[in-house]
Structure 1
């Protein structure tokens, strides 16, 4: 009898999580091997160029840098705050004496006993806690970038042991964005798992739809990618030195 209550939860929910994990594993592989076929790779390249340009023109663009980083940090702070609020709400529901499963007994597919409800809420709470953790780390790195990017001259320190370069600042900036992206994706997974309260079927279909949407948002279409490569090739060709007309004679 217990297996009849749990088999949907034991199959569909882990399958949904594995599907989400495999998609992001494939996305990570594509970002590393074919970065310009993904939005994440293109944006990462653009951020590195932006950091280098802002450091070179620091005296002219310091206000722009501060405002841009402030907006990014405010977005990460908002997401971290939302995670804390959701964690507090879930903790209040878990500790409440009201049994939320009673009005849902006839509508929920899968397990809906006291132990099942506890597992569901604790799983969702854990996901949101990790999302808050990654967002807080992203804020830490972005705050450090806001200081380093405004250094007038990136010269070596007196000991000569370490060179503070634009590449180092770019790496810090990329780490902050990576942590922010991981926190956002965990936040999306947490929202899908919240449907687990109403049954594992909704979780599976929610994750399936989310993967399809994320695929269209994370990857560049082949036609657009070819057009961008043509533009880059034409620019490279225009930069090449032209031969002398007398060489053909």
Structure 2
């Protein structure tokens, strides 16, 4: 009864802490994205796409190699996730079908045991699906980023940049599923380790998700980028400038009116 009471109290409390932190992170990404690493990375990727696609014949090899590295990272996470799903399924089926499983109480052997492993399995399945969708978006971007026909089409370049950010966001969601699986894995050893991990994880994730003391340096860097022409972008008709309106609108919307091509 003591373990059951701890499960009823500590497990929902720990999951609530994790949920509150991620709700705060989502709101911050929407309305103050430059405070988060996700927002800063999205802005840098957008600027990178514009500089690459304004001279695709010169920068095509660099673009394909960079996107290939991201695809390999997503493939690795997806492979690990589906492998762990298979291992968890084998462990659960073996344990529940063992001869001693019938002698255990319904609480320990059938209900909580299944819930623990099923929650971990769901996390890894989500990670697998997100990483595979990330590979899908990045594969499309690898074709479009080197298309010479899209060189002078601002709307097309913004579409490619939006797809790249979506693929990277899905990769971040897959990695986030790995983080969430840590406290669920510790739940196997009891509700107390799981609750302690849920209390520690928001501090670790806050350090990883926010810019922190580097905010001023990042803002100065972006101001320098916005004040100068992109050196790698040279056209016979003009030079593309980077505008400072990238993250004034919510990051996850389609209002990516960020750059204007200044045609000479």
Q: TM-score, normalised by structure 2?
A: 0.76
Match of 2:112 in 1: 116
Indicate which of 129, 137, 142 corresponds to 2:138.
Answer: 142
Looking at structure 2, the residues matched to 100 and 152 of structure 1 have their Cα atoms a distance apart, in angstroms, of: 66
Match of 2:167 in 1: 176
Structure 2 spans left out of the alignment, 5+ residues: 102-106, 230-264
Looking at structure 1, the residues matched to 36 and 124 of structure 2 have their Cα atoms a distance apart, in angstroms, of: 26
Looking at structure 2, the residues matched to 132 and 75 of structure 1 have their Cα atoms a distance apart, in angstroms, of: 12
Match of 1:224 in 2: 214
CA RMSD, 1 decimal: 2.8
Cα distance, 1:68 vs. partner? Answer: 0.6
Match of 2:148 in 1: 152
Q: Is residue 85 from structure 1 mapped to residue 83 from structure 2 by the alignment?
A: yes
Looking at structure 1, the residues matched to 127 and 100 of structure 2 have their Cα atoms a distance apart, in angstroms, of: 25
Cα distance, 1:196 vs. partner? Answer: 0.9
Indicate which of 37, 53, 56 corresponds to 2:54.
Answer: 56
Looking at structure 1, the residues matched to 76 and 189 of structure 2 have their Cα atoms a distance apart, in angstroms, of: 28
Match of 1:46 in 2: 44
Q: TM-score, normalised by structure 1?
A: 0.80
Q: Which one has the largest radius of gyration?
A: 1
Give matches, 1:22-37, under 5 Å. 22-37=20-35
Looking at structure 2, the residues matched to 219 and 100 of structure 1 have their Cα atoms a distance apart, in angstroms, of: 48
Report the 3-state secondary structure (helix = DSSP H, G, I; strand = E; otherwise coil) of the residue aligned with 2:146.
Answer: coil
Match of 1:244 in 2: none
Contact 1:155–1:164 (CA under 8 A) maintained in structure 2:
no
Structure 1 spans left out of the alignment, 5+ residues: 102-110, 157-161, 240-249
Aligned length: 224
Match of 1:131 in 2: 127
Report the 3-state secondary structure (helix = DSSP H, G, I; strand = E; otherwise coil) of the residue aligned with 2:149.
Answer: coil
Q: Could you list the per-position Cα deviations for residues 73-102 of structure 1 after superposition, in whole angstroms to 9, with x for gaps in the alignment?
A: 11111111111111000000111034899x
Indicate which of 3, 6, 9 corresponds to 2:7.
Answer: 9
Looking at structure 2, the residues matched to 46 and 201 of structure 1 have their Cα atoms a distance apart, in angstroms, of: 41
Match of 2:239 in 1: none
